[in-house]
Amino acid sequence: MLYLLMAVLALLAVGVYYYITLPAVNIHASGFWFFILALVAFAAALYAARRARKEYKLYGAQAVLNWKDWKPLKGFVLLFGLILAVFLIGSFLSSPVINAGRYQQLLAVEERNFTQDIHEVDYSTIPLLDKDSAALLGDRKMGSLVDMVSQFEVSDDYTQLNYQNKPVRVTPLEYASTIKWLTNQKNGIPAYVRIDMATQDTEIVMLDQGIKYSKSEYFNRYLYRHLRFHYPTYIFDDQLFFEIDEEGTPYWVCPVKKFNIGLFGGQTVGRVVLCNAVTGECIDYAVEDVPQWIDKVYSAELLMQLYDYHGVLVHGFFNSILGQRDCLTTTTGYNYIALDDDVWVYTGLTSVNGDQSNVGFVLMNQRTMEARYYKIEGATETSAMSSAEGQVQNLGYRSTFPLLLNIAGEPTYFVALKDGAGLVKKYAMINIQKYQWVAIGDTVAECEKNYNALLSTNGIVSQEAAEQKEITGVVEVIAPVVLDGYTHYFLCLEGEDAVFDADLSDASLYSVLRLKEGDRVTLTYEQGYDVNPVRAVEKE
């Protein structure tokens, strides 16, 4: 009876351990090997306790200490050592030390032309805020909802997506505490946050049915446990991404690790499990078959690691440590670019010696793992950030990590400058190849105008080249506004959503004073952010 009780307690302990740690039943999972080692150690301990009790009863304490006759225990020790040796040898055989060539080829990189791939900037499609600024907006919006703020808080996921051709960040709410979970878990989490990264519009999206499966749940509705019980052999990535489809339905995108080299080496993604955050329904896809609306399959950190293998191991492992000939590595940060309806990770490339210049940059697709290399020498992102901060050093503003833009055919860093409270106060554009060329503006439109003037002054582009667009139409609305001591006339044309700004500090635009609603005009203008600066007015 005692032995039966011990067996039941042992099985219970194993079950609790598995329920808490959730190891994948897969030889490629290091957690599985630790689980097996724990089982062997536990079995050895049970045997030792049983044997010691029996020997003590029969022969006394002296017999218990006579370990030479405990042959089965030696077997447990031998088995433990054998499993540990296989794990350690498998780890070594999977490492870049002896597989440098295979690691270097994990990521296929294609060299491309910058101006052909990266079109001139459209400010409605670029994220003007970083994750920290998005978090401030989310917390501020949540704080305005008195009935919810006491029960829930905003998660720090803030996944960046292309949603209906707009850059947005989305993040679920989560329970504010265990007590709040107890009182609210029946209905689930009622909403998620969606932030337009171009306009800063922040919305709490209420759901008809609450989110029942998330990282803040407990027991069987805890997301990782829910996935483990459905897919006991899958090795899920540490990062599970919160996304929404085109109808706004919340999902968890759960990448499944694939090891391409030995037992534990060459990690990429082999499959993706799509879990409905409301119902818990799971759909399993091969990585090449994931729906187009999914933006995040490969994490930015994984893609940067894969490029580091590609760039550093170009001439083998020992060259990466000793001679370091032709070795390139990613810089210290990254940002996102919307391209071809996908989200691409952008990061610069520099030599492993860590100098202050980039030899180029790379874009990596977070859905397909496609990688594109652009050979453009210039300043590193941190150097550009310091250059922008130097222009406002008296104000103490700090720069966000740069976005990469094409402005008038020039590769350009774009940053927001934030005060100590994290609020965006100014914007800056820095030329990548001439990072001492910095333009500052209180608005994006002003910053771009100043940058184009800077390029023109330095003979990079002519001012006329930045003023190529024309539009003809009937004046629907015309309104004078005084800004910074100068009169501006804002115009709207029939059938057009754009707003045009004629700044009368430029005397060549005085003809706008003779316009009235209903007149037909031709406007020459620059593409702007909030409004389009007018450069010429011709009444027909």
Main-chain phi, psi angles of 31, to 5 degrees: -60, -30
What's the token pair of residue 177? 């505490």
Tokens linked to 359: 């030899």
Straight-line distance from the first to the last Cα atom of the chain, in angstroms, rounded to the nearest whole number: 103
Measured at the CA of 442, the angle between CA 441 and CA 443, to 5 degrees, comes to 90
- Give me the pLDDT at residue 64, please: 47
Closest-CA residue to 366 (of 389, 396, 336, 388): 336
Contact between 473 and 496 under an 8 Å Cβ cutoff? The reply is yes
* Pairwise CA distance, residues 311 & 104, whole Å: 7
Query: Locate tokens 């794990």: which residue?
Result: 87
Look at residue 370 and give its three-state secondary structure.
coil
**For residue 433, what pLDDT is reported?**
86
Residue 467 clears pLDDT 70, i.e. is over it: no
Region 110-118: mean pLDDT is 89
Interatomic CA distance for residues 412 and 54, integer angstroms: 79
Q: Which residue has the higher pLDDT, 504 or 464?
A: 504
Distance CA 166, CA 376 (A): 28
Instruction: Look up residue 381 and give its amino acid.
Output: E
Place of tokens 């960040």: 169
Range 234-257 average pLDDT: 96
- Reported as a single tens digit per residue, the pLDDT across 408-421 is 888 999 999 999 88
Looking at the predicted structure, is the pLDDT value of residue 372 above 80?
yes
CB of 391 closer than 8 Å to CB of 426 = no
- Is the pLDDT at 477 greater than 70, yes or no? yes
Helices (H), 240-336: 300-312, 317-321
Beta bridge partners of 480: 489
- Residue 151, SS3 per DSSP: coil
Tell me: the pLDDT tens digits for 374-410?
Answer: 999 888 899 999 999 999 999 999 999 999 898 888 8
Query: DSSP assignment of 77-91, as one string?
Result: HHHHHHHHHHHHHHH
Residue 49 neighbours by CB distance under 10 Å:
11
How far is residue 429's CA from residue 433's CA, in Å, rounded to a whole number?
Answer: 12
User: Residues of the chain with pLDDT > 90: what percent?
Assistant: 58
Cα–Cα nearest to 375, from 100, 117, 127: 117
Residue-wise pLDDT for 22-56, tens only, equals 989 999 998 899 889 988 888 887 777 776 666 65
Give pLDDT tens digits for 349-364: 998 876 678 999 999 9
Return d(Cα 291, Cα 167) in angstroms, integer.
18
Angle in degrees, CA 141, 142, 143, rounded to 5: 90
Q: Which residue has the tokens 């099985």?
A: 11
Contact 450, 439 (CB under 8 A): yes
Tell me the β-bridge partners of 410.
Answer: 407
Q: What are phi and psi of 378, to 5 degrees?
A: 175, -165
State which H helix or E strand residue 536 sits in. Answer: strand 532-539
CA distances from 293 to 193, 244, 290 (A): 18, 9, 8
Q: Report yes or no: 117 and 342 within 8 Å, Cβ to Cβ.
A: no
Spell out the residues 6+ positions from residue 199 whose beta carbon is closer than 8 angstroms to its own: none
CA 285 to chain centre: 21
pTM beyond 0.95: the answer is no
pLDDT digits (tens, 9 = 90+) for 290-304: 999 999 999 999 999
- CA torsion sign, 401 to 405 to 410 to 416? negative
Is 37 exposed, middle or buried, given 0-12, 13-18 or 19+ CB atoms closer than 10 A? middle
